[in-house]
Amino acid sequence: MDEENALFCTSKGWVDANVIWAFDRTHRLLCGLPSKSDHQVVIQPFLTMLMHDMIQKNSASKTNSMEIESEHGLSPANTKPDMMPLRWHQRWIRQRYSRLFRQVPDYLGMIVRDADGEHALGNPHGNLCASMNIHDPAVYRMIALQGSLGACEAYLQGLWSTPDLVKTLTFFSQIFDTVNTLDTGVAWFATMLGKMAARFRRNSRTGSKKNIAAHYDLSNEFFALFLDPSMMYSSACYDAPDVSLEEASQAKLRKLCRKLQLESSDHLLEIGTGWGGFALHATRHHGCRVTTTTISKNQHDYVQQEFQKASLGNQITLLQQDYRDLRGHYDKIVSIEMIEAVGKDFLVDYFRCCNQLLKPGGRFIIQAIVIPEQRYDIYARSVDFIQTYIFPGCFLPSIASMQQAVGECTSLRMVGLQDCTPSYVLTLREWRRRFHLKLDVVRQLGFDERFIRMWDFYLASCEAVFHERAAGLVQIEWVKV
């Protein structure tokens, strides 16, 4: 047959030469290597091996599993007892990707341990030096083919571990541009597939309901394992590091009510009920009327019972409606970490609805997780771990993007902006600590080891991201003129 249409046979099957050629060209672009002619790259043993690895099933599922304990006694992985030896093409990938880390700041370092020994990235004697143990060299292939999400998936499968997950993720958070480079080359195809899938999870009325259910309807009992008694699944406000989560959560509620300037004659709208903690606090401490809405069935059923127990039926109206379907006029509006579920395409709709629902002179306050303006464009074009595994449809706005939407369709004027980012670091740290203490109960609720690793990674990565201010937490106040 013609060389350009050749199929190369190995013990694992047939590989199309044109596919190998495409993989080679994109890898060379990624690694800054010189191009080769088509005839020179057609026969590439490395790429043939790479394609074989890609079509194999996950190796962890084919072997006996064992548990590897982490720094908190977490033991949730199907992982191999010893580090598996590397094949030469996996060493090739490791070597090529190690080049990306040569320009990391001097104070950062990473020790990667695999069957070949230790490999230093950056400065192993820096102020922040993390470490990774590669139990299965398939990790390298997953990173090559799937980029940063491949590294995440490999962790969920137990193919690598670390004695300090937060420190390791802090390292990667500090080298954002380098990590972003992992999603180019061959991994660009996986990124594009992820973006295509995300388009089917847009936060339309139907999509929002599905996305909210995928996260918040996991189990009320599960969230109760690590949240404070008020069930506030949003950052607390710590006045001091030694304050308890319960005290910090109550401080957050008092702060929001103070900024709203709540009075007993007010009719307050809450968009995003959660598990009812804020509505109960506002009615008990300020005597106002509250209308609160959620589109989560589990939350709605839970909150309905809590409101009945509190005998506040005359003061609280509980709805199960999308914000776009709300009607009426309210003196004040509050929304606590709900705007992350709105989506980039619907920011203008969200603020337009809030503006229509708010009376002139009324106050509107949100607590929001935001992305820095410097990273907004890249973030808006990507699909990250949380969007893929934890909260489909999630999108972090920037302060500028919110203000742009406000300017397009409302008569709202910003009158206050407070950064609360350090409090989220402490909140997440405490949630993760409580989560680890209740792992046996998590398993009794029916969640498997992959789920445990996924949530541990989620909580640890969020702590690292807020610590490095790769994301922020703000409370914003607007007044309608």
Give pLDDT tens digits for 254-304. Answer: 999 999 999 999 999 999 999 999 999 999 999 999 999 999 999 999 999
Domain regions of the chain by residue span: 1-56, 63-196, 201-480
Q: What's the residue count for the chain? A: 481
Residue 77's alpha-carbon distances to 158, 436, 450, 451, 464, in angstroms, are 5, 15, 7, 10, 22
The whole-chain average pLDDT of the chain stands at 83
Whether the predicted pLDDT of 439 surpasses 80: yes
pLDDT of residue 410: 98
Please compute the mean of the pLDDT values over residues 25-31 and round it to a whole number.
47
pLDDT of residue 7: 39
List the structure tokens of 72: 């908190």
Buried b (16+ CB within 10 A) or exposed e, 429-446: bbbbeebbeebeebeeee
Please compute the mean of the pLDDT values over residues 325-342 and round it to a whole number.
97
pLDDT of residue 438: 97
Report the distance separating Cα 357 and Cα 271, nearest Å. Answer: 11
Give pLDDT tens digits for 379-427. Answer: 998 888 999 999 999 999 999 999 999 999 999 999 999 999 999 999 9
Pick from 373, 355, 386, 374: nearest CA to 455: 386
Whether the predicted pLDDT of 58 surpasses 60: no
The CATH number for 201-480, chosen from 3.30.70.1560, 3.40.640.10, 3.40.30.10, 3.40.50.150, is 3.40.50.150
Whether the predicted pLDDT of 194 surpasses 80: no
pLDDT of residue 174: 85
